[in-house]
Structure 1
């Protein structure tokens, strides 16, 4: 009886080895088939697999390293009220300001919204300074807050329209499509009327840009739809016209009327 034990143990050991290598026959068959294949075909398969792997790695890197756009840019002509509005949004207080010659930035916490903090950036309004600061910050723009003051609008409506045209035809801004908020510091006219006037002036600006020889006005993007009058609804971005007042209805110490603007900023 004892002589039978070694054989029995060997049988059990063989069963264990077969259990541990259930795929060995398939692997061996695959190896034989690969050895029979044309080397050129095998190289092609390897190259194709390498291309797929590299593409996946590249896409993952590109998507994860994409720039996070968290800036709200305050732009507009000189003396349009940008810096005062900047102060009101940050502290709620009136602050006497002067013409900016450099940018100012600060974190802005959206009201009634948990966890969202934007970087509010006030850009200089002088026409000789605007291009360099716009170039510096445009890629980070989540929203553009274009400030227009009713006190100077009628006199400078063409300048306002030309500046808007430059912004909207910029290839980076057009591609990223940040929200556009036209904050109208109101005294008399409604934001709707301002929108209509700007659309008409923008059509004239577009025509002048297309006919100019040096391409000095505007960027590389055609604004609006060809063959149609320009409307802000044609843009690839969300556009809002918001009436507000940074000075306050009861003098400098009174509260500013910026509730609608704050609500829009909270929705970014």
Structure 2
């Protein structure tokens, strides 16, 4: 095997072994020079330098973790019981058109442009309303929620008040939703029907039902292990529950996705659209 040769600055010829030795000697000289400079420095300066480097390192690690774990909350979730009108409302918000719907067994999503000067765009997601499907889809999308539109069938609310309250209780005591604090818009749908309950009455009855649920759920948890744990406590202790006690913004509003008995008629969703425009 041929020996590699190198031409030094003075014009002499070196083989690869001599070149390696020279490089090693140069590196050792450099290390010795750095060591001597550090020894001549003030100890206070050296301590400050170490601390500064540590702060920079910790900051870099924190920023990497924070940026990688941060979830952009740009979704508006449509939730509620089966046949409350979520899917038709979904269609009306997106296109304004009437569309015949059936019970959803999976999620539907599409970009929704809010009617405001900022031109805000959210991802509108219609979640299935069946009680066997709700938990898994809520778990999938809740961390991205900027707002939750809870759709209520105002026409048969009296029959469903218990089920509506139980579902809402799950939302309001969820730790992730409580931490992210998305706006909660309770859309009292089907106001075009004569027997529909008003938003004010629905709010009052839900407060009473949630207050009862809070008592029974707390008692059930206490009987299991002697202490209340798990989900968050709803409202303020020692006071009857009211939505005003919550750390999140809650708004009750009336709407009608159908709008009228004529399928080609316009929907009555202006109040909901204005609320979405404020997000």
TM-score when normalising by structure 1: 0.80
The answer to whether structure 1 residue 144 and structure 2 residue 155 are counterparts is: no
Counterpart mapping for 1:11-26 below 5 A:
none
Asked if 1:171 is matched to 2:179, the reply is no
Match of 1:75 among 70, 74, 79: 79
Render the CA deviation track for 1:11-52: whole Å, top value 9, x for unaligned.
xxxxxxxxxxxxxxxxx9997352xx49xx95x545533331
Residue 250 of structure 1 deviates from its aligned partner by 5.2
1:196-245 CA-partner distances (Å, limit 9, x unpaired) = 11011001111111112569xx9621111111111111111111101000
CA distance in 2 between partners of 1:104 and 1:76 (Å):
14
Within the candidate set 53, 57, 60, 1:57 is matched to 60
Note the 1:1-268 alignment, pairs <5 A.
32-34=40-42, 37=43, 42=46, 45=48, 47-62=50-65, 64-65=67-68, 66-185=70-189, 186=191, 187=193, 188-213=196-221, 220-249=231-260, 251-268=262-279
The answer to whether the 8 Å contact 1:87/1:95 transfers is: yes
Unaligned runs of 5+ in 2: 1-35
Q: How far 1:135 sits from its partner (Å)?
A: 0.2
Q: May I ask how many residue pairs the two structures share in their alignment?
A: 234
Q: CA RMSD in A?
A: 2.4
Higher mean displacement: 53-62 or 183-192: 53-62
* Structure 1 residues 53-112: Cα deviation after superposition (integer angstroms, max 9, x where no partner): 123224433554421100000000011110110011011011111110000000001113
SS in 1 for 2:110: strand
Contact 1:104 1:122 in 2 (8 A): yes
SS of structure 2 residue aligned to 1:142: strand
TM-score by length of 2: 0.77
- Deviations 1:93-135 (Å, cap 9, x if unpaired)? 1111111000000000111333311000000000000000000
The answer (yes or no) to whether the contact 1:71–1:143 under 8 Å persists in 2 is: yes
In structure 1, list runs of 5 or more residues that go unmatched. Answer: 1-27
